[in-house]
Chain A
Amino acid sequence: MQHGKYRFIVGFLVAPLALYAIFVIWPFIQSIYYSFTDWTGLSPDFKMVGFDNYTRLLHDDIFWKSLQHSVIFVVLLPLVTLSLALFFAFMLNVGGRRRKGAAVAGVRGSGFYKIAYFFPQVLSVTIVALLFRFIYNPSGGLLNSALDAIGLGSFQPQWLGDPTWALWAVMAVLVWSTVGFFVVLFSAGMASIPKDFYEAALLDGASRITTFFKITLPLLWDTIQSGWVYMGILALGAEAFSAVNIMTVGPGGPDYSTTVLPLYVYQSAFRDANAAYATTIGVALLIVTLLFAAIVMRLGRRDRLEY
């Protein structure tokens, strides 16, 4: 009964595809077009300049720095966040001591931890960034005061004011604010893994670590992969931009140590009045994103277990 199947599918897809073409594909084509002009963004007249913007891009140190930081973000952020979230979720759902009547259970107080982890998720990244600006304040901020209190008074970094710390300080904030979401996501994933798998493993005398690597991780693989993609979006896009834009010196500093691609796009377009160059950086960002997607899809491919 394959007759007319495609016509049927296409019929349903026309509207969404048209919307997708108008609001996603067309802006991309436009952006690429504008990257070959000298459009300022402040006036509708511009002319074609060929590959000038691209030549400029290749010789632009700030672009390369931004690219490097964005790549660090997209590699490290998902890795750190997802590993932490996996660990937390495992402890909350499976990692507890064995109690009577239940083969698998979370650590004591896991209900509370779940809420505590999830809490930052309800705050917007703007609020989180503002909050951490005060925490990182080198004089009288929470962090340095805490260091002081535990006898590390001599170790008082400037955090956001020091190029060696700033990027990591921003990343830590993003990890803090997103890890809770994945804890909940992975918890849900783990809850759907049949309990008898764990019971069987227990009967065979498997340790917690073995259980995690042989049962939990493989069965959660799909969820982790979605998480990875989602985290990549945050790291390349709006979330990283907001955090850097609100928290850092300059923003993007000190000395270009925290500038990321979306921030550079924004600054070129809305501060330097060079919208054409901004679209050029945008095209570079597009390429990075495509590469990221391709790599994640490629690495993520593995046999699927059905249950």
Chain B
Amino acid sequence: MGSTSDQHGNGGVGRRTLIKRSAALGIVSVPAVSLLSACASGDSGSDDKVKKGTKSKNNPLAVNESAALSVVIFDGGFGTKYATDANAQYKKAFPKAKVNFHATQKIQSELQPKFNGGTPPDLIDNSGAEQMDMGVLVGKKQLADLTPLLDAPSVDDPSKKVRDTLRPGIVEMGQFDGDPVWIMYYAYTVYGVWYSQTALDKLDSQYPEDWDAMLALCAKAKKKGIAGWTYAGKYPYYLPFSLYPFIAKIGGREVLDKIDNLEPNAWKDPAVKAAFEAYYELYKKGYILKGTPGIDHIQSQTEWAKGKALFIPNGSWVENESAKVIPKDFNLAVGAPSSLDSSDKMPFGTIWASGGEPFIVPAKAANVEGGMEQLRIMLSEASSKNFTSQVKSLSAFNGGTDGIELTPGLKSGVAALEKAGDNVVNPRLQDWYVKLQKEQIGVAGLGEMMAGRLTPAEAIKKIQGYADAAAKDQSVKHYKHQ
């Protein structure tokens, strides 16, 4: 007699059936759907802003001296010490204020619910893999206009406005369509082709100024068992760091502007094709380090630091990020893209440099003035120097490198900027259209091409398709170069 069976009909629900049914309902509850509404749209953003303080010479932004300040910093390649040092400065200026400091790598997962609920912190370093989409934040009016900060007197020289102490392009980068400035990029990153001068010396070579020299050098290295290039194969959106300025160099900066503006056929420009073909040749001739398409940025940087490859497209954070694996006598340097040929529109030295580490002050923050004041302190010469000497990167503050000993990479970055002069390009795809840049152009386009699975022509066609789709996508806010 099977008492646990549901076969005999006493009308009730047998134990097994019950268990089975509840199992069925159980799995239904598992998928991610319910996860999403866990952070579902909160109530209205309650407007509990702190009162403004009194404006004075030392307090031009009228910060409430006793209001708490909450700061969230991305804990990435730069660490967080530079930020806690700045917090200490704030504390000194406003002894009655309580400073809440929080460091995280999960910017979006931690802060998205707070934005949604209307209780964001006062200052955020919106950086890293979990960067919140700035276009959406601006479009949904979640950010405070930083114009008061830029018009405030600088800490070092009260006769100068903060905006006059910044590197060229920093203010414009923080704007999206029009006057308000939404983002303060604190770091200043030099992108390009990074290499070891020592390794080139060993090959009796100089950094190749044109593409023929590049190919010749790669051939020479290959004979010695060294690959020419490697890159973050799992995140091929590192390739543009040297590829985009290469395109601008060949065809002029308008080509990049058209690409950023998502204009039809922007990718079909001959300059794009020429640049893609040049890079593809690296693959075809076997100058790319074996296994590159399957390794991540740390692995590729390590192989490169070990001398297995000469060149890697990267940004100036690489010096700090790879500090542990870069040998002492490495003599790190950055090169601008080599010329393709003499008909290039821009001179050798054209480089991509732009703001990094985007800091934002949420519009709904309780202490908006405090957040801006903290930024003002960070943009002083002393804080900027502190940042540069700690993390081997330039800051948005123009200058601030005198009197500190520059590391080789940083020195080379400063030299590259001097050489570039006005020929600094600043492609915006990576901050305007994150998905397009990373997943579609990067992984599905460039990554596939450099792994040899797409020809340049196919890659261009595919990327143009994605760009057209992004241009048509109404759920994405579109931007144009002014």
Contact = CB atoms under 8 A, between A and B. Distances in A.
Contacts of A265: 32-33, 36
Interface string B37-48: 111111111000
Contact of B32 (A30, A133, A273, A282): A282
A133 B299 CA distance: 11
A290 B28 contact: yes
B302 to A, nearest CB: 10
A199 interface: no
A279 B291 CA distance: 37
Contacts of B28: 286, 289-290, 293
Nearest to B442: A250
A91 interface: no
B294 A159 contact: yes
A163 interface: yes
Interface string B234-245: 111000000000
A36 interface: no
B44 A44 contact: yes
Interface string A140-179: 1000100000000000101111110000000000000000
A293 B31 CA distance: 13
Given A34-B37, A272-B434, A43 B448 contact: no
Nearest to B435: A272
Nearest to B290: A139
A278 to B, nearest CB: 6
A136 B33 CA distance: 32
Nearest to A30: B37
Contacts of B108: 270-271
A158 B451 contact: yes
Interface string B4-40: 1101000000001000100110011111111011111
A255 B20 CA distance: 39
Interface stretch (A94-102, A185-193, A210-218, A228-236): A228-236
B118 interface: yes
Nearest to B131: A271
B444 interface: yes
Contact of A271 (B38, B116, B133, B448): B133
A27 B32 CA distance: 11
Interface in B272-327: 289-296, 299, 303
B34 A31 contact: yes
A250 B32 contact: no
A120 interface: no
Interface in A22-71: 23-24, 27-28, 30-31, 34, 38-46, 56
B27 A232 contact: yes
A277 interface: yes
Interface in A179-232: 222, 226, 229, 232
Nearest to A241: B32
Contacts of A229: 23-24, 27
Nearest to B2: A306
B443 A30 contact: no
Contact of B20 (A46, A233, A297): A297
Contacts of A270: 108-109, 112, 130
Interface in A98-130: none
Interface residues of B, number: 66
A42 B136 contact: yes
Contact of B136 (A40, A138, A261, A283): A40
Contacts of B115: 42-43
Of the listed residues B43, B234, B448, the one surrounded by the most CB atoms of chain A closer than 10 A to its CB is B234
Q: How large is the interface on A (under 10, 10 to 19, 20 to 34, 35 or more residues)?
A: 35 or more
Given A158-B293, A254-B451, A262 B31 contact: yes
A238 B31 CA distance: 8
Contacts of A137: 291, 294-295, 299
Contacts of B252: none
A119 to B, nearest CB: 25
Contacts of B132: 42, 273
A44 B117 CA distance: 7
B57 interface: no
Contacts of B60: none
A289 to B, nearest CB: 5
Interface in B430-444: 434-435, 438-439, 443-444
B202 interface: no
Contacts of B482: none
A222 B464 CA distance: 53
Of the listed residues B36, B42, B435, the one surrounded by the most CB atoms of chain A closer than 10 A to its CB is B36
Contacts of B290: 138-139, 156
B37 A255 contact: no
Nearest to B232: A249
Given A31-B36, A254-B443, 20 more contacts: A31-B33, A42-B136, A43-B116, A44-B41, A56-B475, A138-B290, A158-B293, A163-B448, A232-B27, A249-B294, A249-B443, A255-B447, A265-B32, A267-B435, A272-B435, A273-B137, A279-B33, A282-B36, A285-B32, A289-B31
The 4 closest A-B pairs by CB, nearest first: A161-B294, A139-B291, A138-B291, A282-B33
Interface of A: 23-24, 27-28, 30-31, 34, 38-46, 56, 133, 136-140, 144, 156, 158-163, 222, 226, 229, 232-233, 236-238, 241, 248-250, 252-256, 261-262, 265-267, 269-275, 277-279, 282-283, 285-286, 289-290, 292-294, 297, 304, 306
26 contacts: A39-B41, A43-B142, A44-B41, A137-B295, A138-B291, A139-B290, A139-B294, A158-B293, A161-B295, A162-B293, A237-B32, A249-B234, A250-B438, A250-B439, A250-B443, A252-B439, A253-B447, A265-B32, A270-B108, A272-B435, A279-B33, A279-B36, A279-B37, A282-B32, A289-B28, A289-B30
